[in-house]
Structure formats: C-alpha cells, structure tokens
Amino acid sequence: MLLLASALDYLHNHCETPIIHCDLKPSNVLLDGDLTGHVSDFGLSRFLTEPTSNVPESQSSSIGIRGSVGYATLEYGMGSEVSVYGDVYSFGILLLEMFTGKRPTDHMFSDGLNLHNYVKTALPECVSEISKSLGLQEGTASVVEAHRQLSVTPQKIEECLTLIFGIGIACSTDSPTNRKDISNVAAELKSIRKNLLG
C-alpha cells in the first residue's frame, strides 16, 4: 500500500499537470514478479486544469460518474468535479478492504452500514476481530512466523493495524476536504512499516 500511496502522490503532486486516476480499485492495481503493486488502467483519468489548487471547486469538468461502485466517492455521485480527494477516498476504501478482507460491496453493508463505518466502529478495541480473515491473530501461524523471523509481537502487529485502519478511515470520510493528503498518507505508511520491521 505504501507504493500505491507513493504512486498517487506522484500523480497528484509531482507531475507537471496533476493527474486524477478516477478508478482506483483492486483490479486496477497489478502485481509484478516481485509482488510490487503498479497502478493501471488510466481510461477514466483526468488532468487537472488548475494545478495550483486541489480544492474540488477549481477542478476540470467531468461528465457522468467517475469510478466503480464501492470505490467511487460520494461527491462524484452528486455531480461534483473530479479531484485528488476522490482518489484519496478510493485509496482509503482499498486500504480498508485489504486489511479486513471485506469488499465495499459485500452484502453485509446495507441500511447505512458501509466498510468505512464498519471499521470506524470497531476501532480500537476490535482490531483483531475485523482483521481476522488475514490470519493476524495471536497464535496463528502467520503471526508466529512473523514473530520468529522479525521479532514482531502480536501487540506490535495490532498497534500497526490500528494505525493503518485509522489512515483508511481518515482517507474515506464523507467530507472531501477532511480527507488526508496522499503525501502525508505515504509518509505515515512508511513510518508504520519502519516501526513494524524495526
């Protein structure tokens, strides 16, 4: 996820003309032979016409809804212009999906419950419960192996998961301007990885 955040940071903040992907989802993240993730499918992407501001009101016009169900931000469905905030939202949902093992379109998400709220209400007490599909509970083979190879305690794994879930929640809030900046997300994920691996 760190590489994906770094790729979005490059597209949003380091290209001559910022690029909005508009359709970030699992099938648009490809893994190479070293299992390094690469962003793909730029078919819906847009160049920002006003590179000096990331505020949605100043963005280039988009026609129709951008993105895929479950990953597209709410404001796109209400006719808002494309913005970096839309990609950040999709990144947050993708992050939550990867660490819970639940798709945002899962049948359990109905009647106002969505992936964002599911994780938000579980934190911090139920981190191990919402990540149980990943086999990260104390005593599971993957945790025992991680502890053996890296001297990583189950408590440290849970602490890092709590931070990662917090990033996913902060990226997928309803209000676009309250979402994290992707460059800060990349820095935080790098710090979490350094803390976990020592």
* Active site (catalytic) residues: 23
pLDDT for the residue 133: 63
Joined tokens for residue 155: 């408590």
Amino acid in position 25 = K
Least confident of 63-67, 158-162, 169-173, 174-178: 63-67
What band does 10 get if pLDDT is binned at 50, 70 and 90? very high
Domains of the chain, earliest start first: 2-197 (1.10.510.10)
φ/ψ (deg, to 5) at 42: -95, 25
Write down the pTM of the prediction. 0.85
Least confident of 46-60, 99-113, 140-154: 46-60
Cα separations in angstroms, 98 against 25, 49, 104, 108, 130: 11, 33, 11, 17, 11
Cα separations in angstroms, 152 against 39, 114, 116, 149: 30, 31, 28, 8
Cα separations in angstroms, 31 against 37, 157, 180: 5, 24, 25
Select from 73, 113, 79, 66 the least CA-distant residue to 92: 73
Distance of CA 122 to the CA centre of its chain: 17
What band does 57 get if pLDDT is binned at 50, 70 and 90? very low
Q: What is the DSSP letter of 72?
A: S
